[in-house]
């Protein structure tokens, strides 16, 4: 075989090996396919304490492992980042969180996904307004803010991972 053919053959082989190694690394990071979450439920939902909330959409967050952190601490970091992201976007928090090792961003991290929820303030008679565009009627009181025609509780500080902001503007564990 001429030397030029040999070099071409070696180059192609190295390219294939690089491609294969990259594919294997990506598969190892993601542990294969991600578990699918159920779709958000429509309409008003109630938790065990009979508080009203709406499920709106799926959110996800990635947290890369920091030096000196173990896997459990890294997973908790991803859960906290997911909760904080939900609250920064105007949601009360997330439920049905599923975390998996690895991500497209870092090999030693976690990706967490969950369903964004919004707790709403109920009327005195227990009714809950549906999500709609426009102002809140009646006007929201206290620390509540108006989002999509509903008075939504606002906690003074973001709730830590696994907790949501409920009607009385306190952070509670999601039941």
Tens place of pLDDT per residue across the chain (175 aa): 444 444 334 333 333 333 333 322 333 334 445 566 888 988 888 888 888 888 888 998 888 888 887 888 888 888 888 988 888 888 888 888 988 887 777 778 888 899 999 888 777 777 776 666 678 777 887 778 888 778 887 887 778 767 888 877 888 876 5
Q: Enter the tokens of residue 135.
A: 């102002």
- The per-residue pLDDT for 21 is 31
pTM above 0.75? no
Does residue 116 sit within a domain?
A: yes
Name the domain count of the chain.
1
Question: If 0-12 CB within 10 Å is exposed, 13-18 middle and 19+ buried, where does residue 168 land?
Answer: middle
Domain boundaries, position 53: 45-173
Does residue 141 sit within a domain?
A: yes
- The per-residue pLDDT for 35 is 60
- The per-residue pLDDT for 115 is 92
- The per-residue pLDDT for 15 is 34
Full strand arrangement of the beta sheet holding 45-46: 45-46, 52-64, 109-119, 93-101
Does residue 16 sit within a domain?
A: no
Does residue 166 sit within a domain?
A: yes
Does residue 148 sit within a domain?
A: yes
**Overall size of the chain counted in residues:** 175
Does residue 154 sit within a domain?
A: yes
Does residue 13 sit within a domain?
A: no
| For the chain, counts of helices (H) and of strands (E) | 2, 8
- pLDDT, one tens digit per residue, over 83-101 is 888 888 888 888 889 888 8
What's the DSSP call for residue 31? T
Does residue 58 sit within a domain?
A: yes
């Amino acid at each position: 075989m001429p030397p030029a053919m040999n070099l071409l053959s070696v180059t192609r082989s190295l390219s294939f090996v690089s491609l294969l190694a990259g594919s294997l690394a990506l598969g190892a990071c993601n542990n294969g396919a991600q578990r699918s979450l159920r779709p958000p439920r429509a309409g008003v939902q109630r938790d065990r304490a009979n508080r009203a909330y709406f499920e709106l959409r799926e959110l996800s967050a990635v947290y890369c492992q920091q030096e000196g952190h173990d896997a459990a601490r890294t997973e908790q970091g991803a859960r906290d980042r997911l909760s904080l992201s939900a609250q920064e976007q105007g949601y009360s928090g997330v439920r049905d969180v599923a975390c998996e090792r690895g991500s497209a961003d870092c090999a030693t991290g976690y990706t967490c996904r969950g369903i964004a929820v919004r707790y709403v303030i109920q009327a005195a008679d227990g009714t809950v307004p549906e999500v709609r565009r426009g102002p809140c009627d009646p006007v929201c009181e206290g620390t509540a803010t108006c989002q999509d025609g509903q008075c939504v509780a606002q906690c003074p500080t973001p709730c830590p991972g696994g907790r949501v902001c409920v009607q009385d503007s306190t952070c509670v564990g999601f039941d």
